[in-house]
Amino acid sequence: TLRNEMDNMFGGCRQIFDAYTNEVTMYTKPMLSEVMRHDEDYEAFIVSLANEKCLPVLWDTMRDCVMKGRYEDKDILWQMFELAVRLVNKTHTKPVFDILHTEIGDEMKWDEHSPMQGSNHRGVVKEVVLDGYINRYINKIMRRALVSIE
């Protein structure tokens, strides 16, 4: 069936879809309504994530989850975000988007990092709360990493 073919083609997608539909809270899902329109439809889930418009919406929703302490939702949305970056890049001849991986101990860089509220503004990264991402085609950081600085 089409569902089985898609499960084989997109390893791990089914688990991410199930986590999204069954575990993401009703507080978080409405924030995604402009890009995730059919909550219970697996094929629509994949198609939605292949649209680059979902990237900033997913990232901003994850930031909101962090600010409100909904880390379980953020973790599921991060899996969706990683999948979305992969799928969106498949729609282009060359990868356009990339996750900016920040490491603990990296020097604070204002063009790449955004300090958490209450965090120092100078120093080194002591915690990566949320990695940022970049559009490599135009060489523009779309969202800076959310970090704690010491």
pLDDT for position 83: 94
pLDDT tier at 115, thresholds 50, 70, 90 = very high
pLDDT tier at 11, thresholds 50, 70, 90 = low
Residue 99 CB burial class (10 angstroms; 0-12, 13-18, ≥19)? middle
pLDDT at position 3 over 80: no
For 25-58, how does the pLDDT look when each residue is reduced to its tens digit (9 = 90+)? 999 999 999 999 777 899 999 999 999 999 999 9
pTM of the predicted protein model: 0.90
pLDDT at position 5 over 80: no
Q: What is the C-alpha to C-alpha distance for residues 54 and 11, in angstroms, rounded to an integer?
A: 20
For 47-104, how does the pLDDT look when each residue is reduced to its tens digit (9 = 90+)? 999 999 999 999 999 999 999 999 999 999 999 999 999 999 999 999 999 999 999 9
